[in-house]
């Protein structure tokens, strides 16, 4: 019985990617989904169920249809064998590979390959494409020409060779020219590991355009001319035959040329549609980035929408934090991998700023990233890292991580670079908005909330307290004889005292309490869910903290007024007025004390 294990369950801690690990990742969800789609097209849904039963995978259909899923070499062979039995097709693997373009599978990969422009460029990037299907075998280009290429298919996991792999690879290689509206390539497989050779070799030839048809037409014309010449000399009756051969041949060539042109036009239309669709999806993501001005939302969007630029990858967003790069958002990447990414980004900070997007095809070869392929839960094999640069400032790095080595195609790199450029603009705008909002809400000297922000916080807290049916307290504080300090030591020293008071007040309250500078030497504290006694204790702690602030040749003291009410009894403005009155009462009584006005709420008629 075949066993399905998700990619997160494979790997070997502390060592490089092993043959055992590669064997467990010999088949990708792209292959299994192609097999299921082909069997379903040829024989229906019941045939798929019979195939899965024969392979011992009855409960694995959902995972086998996931293009990001990986499974073992044994599972792959079991799946091919079951497909062959159910369909009665001894060449099912080659037929599945040859039907790859007809089935709605790996659409993102097809778009990326078609974007390379020609069959030659696709075959030249075959190493990257193969990493999306198979980690147990390696496919490399040995030699190439304008319309041909020779490749070697090697076992790198110790699993050996099977005819299913040979036939499937042959079918896939033949389809490449069809991406561009050309006839299938002719694939010759003379060296075969499944037949006892040390490896497999494939020679692929294709027609890059109508040159082949022109040669055929010239051949017909030459043959007909020769036949006509012979007929004119020996047998005049052959002249009509020669003419008929020429006409029939040219008509056949014309028909093939017409079909070729039709295919090319159809493929070009499809390519335009795909590019339009990709551009529309990218623009939609960029609009989402631009529409958000809140920093947290923009950071969330950058990683969430990155899939639009480069699908099927995991992403990590690292932000520049002083002299270090810090992982801020990610799509489920293990902590150890994030730490390695931070170290790598720190080391290559200048490189990213000067050179732009960097591709690391094999993470195991980079000392700073060698831990990523060894991560037991989610091992990664390659990375494309695009810097977020705005006005020559490196704001961060967006890293796309893939499960295979040598995976990223040129189109992936270009798309991620373009996306990172717009993401940097969105991030810079969001930071600017955040900075402006903070400046509008902060006291410029102490960094505490200003009066406007404090009023807004009070309104929000009263709304919450009304739903929770709880009480709210406000403490107003005023430094005693602060004018004397300014007059005796100057305003610079007075500002230093105010800064120290602000720090003391921050330390004296709870994390969810709000502290504000209301103006001059007057401060306010908002205390959610606090009754009169708790508010009085908070005021006394604050006054005690203020008294510890050093002042030249003097001891600092302050007066406090406390007011407590429920939203049903008083509004935020009412409560502030009560606390303010209590504060002035404390000053009239001699300063350096706390007065509470809880009992004055009903008497003042403010409810």
Tell me, letter by letter, the H, E, C secondary structure of 13-66: CCCCCCHHHHHCCCEEHHHHHHHHHHHHHHHCHHHHHHHHHHHCCCCCHHHHCC
Q: What is the mean pLDDT of residues 161-172?
A: 94
Token readout for 88 is 């009665």
pLDDT in tens, 18-60: 788 788 888 888 899 999 999 999 999 999 999 999 999 999 9
Q: How far is residue 556 from each of residues 198, 283, 304, 594, measured CA to CA in Å?
A: 88, 60, 52, 15
Of 299, 319, 315, 298, the closest CA to residue 307 belongs to 315
> How high is the pLDDT of residue 216?
46
**Model confidence pLDDT, tens digit, residues 489-507:** 888 999 999 999 999 999 9
What pLDDT, in 10s, does the model give residues 350-404? 888 788 899 998 898 899 998 888 887 788 888 999 999 988 899 999 999 987 7
pLDDT mean over 523-547: 95
The pair of structure tokens assigned to 453 is 């922000």
Residue 101 has a pLDDT of 83
How far is the CA of 206 from the CAs of 114, 171, 250, 362, 532, in angstroms?
Answer: 16, 14, 22, 31, 87
Taking residues 510-530, report their average pLDDT.
Answer: 94
- Give the tens place of pLDDT for each residue, 345-362: 999 888 887 888 999 988
Q: What is the C-alpha separation between 385 and 400, in angstroms, rounded?
A: 6
Across all residues in the chain, what is the average pLDDT? 81
Tell me what the mean pLDDT of segment 289-310 comes to: 71
Confidence at 259, pLDDT banded by 50, 70, 90:
low
Structure confidence at residue 15 (pLDDT): 37
For domain 451-604, give the CATH number: 3.30.70.270
Q: Record the tokens describing residue 134, joined without a space.
A: 């198979």
Q: What is the pTM (predicted TM-score) of this model?
A: 0.56
Residue 307 has pLDDT above 90, yes or no: no
Determine the topology of domain 295-440 in CATH.
Beta-Lactamase (3.30.450)
Which string of DSSP letters, residue by residue, matches 190-235?
EE-GGGT-SSEEEEEE---SSHHHHHHHHHHHHHHHHHHHHHHHT-
Under CATH, what is the fold of the domain 7-205? H-NOX domain (3.90.1520)
């Amino acid at each position: 019985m075949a066993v399905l294990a998700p990619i997160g369950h494979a790997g070997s801690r502390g060592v490089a990617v092993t043959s055992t690990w590669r064997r467990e990742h010999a088949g990708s969800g792209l292959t299994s989904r192609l097999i299921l789609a082909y069997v379903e097209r040829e024989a229906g849904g019941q045939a798929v169920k019979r195939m899965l039963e024969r392979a011992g995978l009855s409960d694995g259909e959902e995972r086998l249809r996931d293009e990001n899923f990986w499974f073992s070499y044994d599972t792959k062979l079991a799946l091919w064998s079951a497909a062959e039995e159910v369909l009665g097709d001894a060449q099912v693997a080659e037929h599945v590979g040859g039907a790859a373009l007809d089935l709605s599978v790996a659409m993102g990969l097809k778009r990326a390959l078609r974007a390379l422009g020609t069959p030659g460029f696709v075959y030249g990037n075959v190493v990257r494409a193969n990493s999306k299907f198979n980690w147990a075998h390696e496919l490399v280009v040995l030699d190439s020409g304008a319309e041909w290429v020779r490749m070697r298919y090697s076992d790198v996991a110790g699993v050996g060779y099977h005819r299913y792999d040979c036939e499937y690879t042959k079918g896939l290689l033949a389809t490449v020219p069809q991406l561009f509206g050309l006839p299938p390539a002719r694939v010759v497989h003379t060296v075969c590991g499944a037949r006892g050779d040390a490896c497999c070799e494939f020679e692929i030839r294709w027609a890059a355009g109508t040159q082949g048809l022109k040669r055929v037409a010239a051949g017909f014309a030459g043959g007909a001319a020769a036949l006509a010449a012979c007929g004119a000399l020996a047998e005049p009756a052959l002249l009509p035959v020669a003419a008929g051969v020429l006409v029939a041949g040219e008509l056949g060539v014309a028909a093939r040329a017409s079909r070729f042109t039709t295919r090319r036009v159809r493929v070009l239309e499809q390519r335009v549609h795909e590019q339009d669709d990709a551009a529309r999806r990218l623009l939609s993501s960029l609009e989402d980035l631009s529409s958000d001005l809140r920093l947290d939302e923009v950071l969330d969007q950058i990683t969430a929408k990155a899939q639009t630029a480069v699908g099927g990858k995991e992403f990590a967003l690292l932000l520049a934090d002083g002299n270090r790069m810090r992982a801020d958002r990610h799509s489920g990447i293990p902590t150890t991998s994030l730490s390695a990414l931070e170290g790598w980004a720190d080391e290559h900070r200048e490189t990213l700023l000067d050179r732009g997007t960097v591709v690391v095809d094999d993470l195991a070869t980079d000392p700073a990233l060698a831990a990523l392929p060894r991560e037991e839960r989610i091992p990664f094999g390659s990375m494309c890292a695009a810097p977020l640069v705005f006005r020559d400032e490196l704001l961060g790095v967006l890293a796309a991580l893939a499960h295979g080595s040598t995976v990223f195609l040129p189109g992936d790199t270009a798309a991620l670079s373009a996306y990172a450029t717009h993401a940097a603009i969105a991030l810079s705008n969001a930071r600017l908005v955040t900075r402006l909002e903070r400046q509008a809400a902060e006291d410029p000297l102490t960094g505490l909330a200003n009066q406007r922000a404090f009023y807004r916080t009070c309104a929000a807290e009263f709304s919450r307290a009304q739903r929770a049916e709880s009480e709210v307290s406000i403490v107003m504080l005023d430094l005693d004889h602060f004018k004397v300090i300014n007059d005796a030591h100057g305003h610079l020293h007075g500002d230093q005292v105010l800064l120290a008071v602000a720090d003391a007040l921050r330390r004296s309250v709870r994390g969810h309490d709000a502290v504000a500078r209301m103006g001059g030497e007057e401060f306010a504290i908002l205390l959610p869910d606090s009754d009169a006694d708790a508010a009085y204790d908070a005021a006394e702690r604050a006054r005690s903290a203020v008294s510890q602030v050093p002042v030249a040749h003097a001891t600092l003291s302050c007066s406090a007024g406390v007011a407590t009410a429920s939203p049903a009894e008083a509004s935020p403005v009412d409560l502030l007025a009560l606390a303010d009155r209590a504060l002035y009462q404390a000053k009239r009584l001699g300063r350096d004390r706390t007065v509470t006005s809880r009992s004055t709420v009903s008497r003042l008629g403010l409810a």
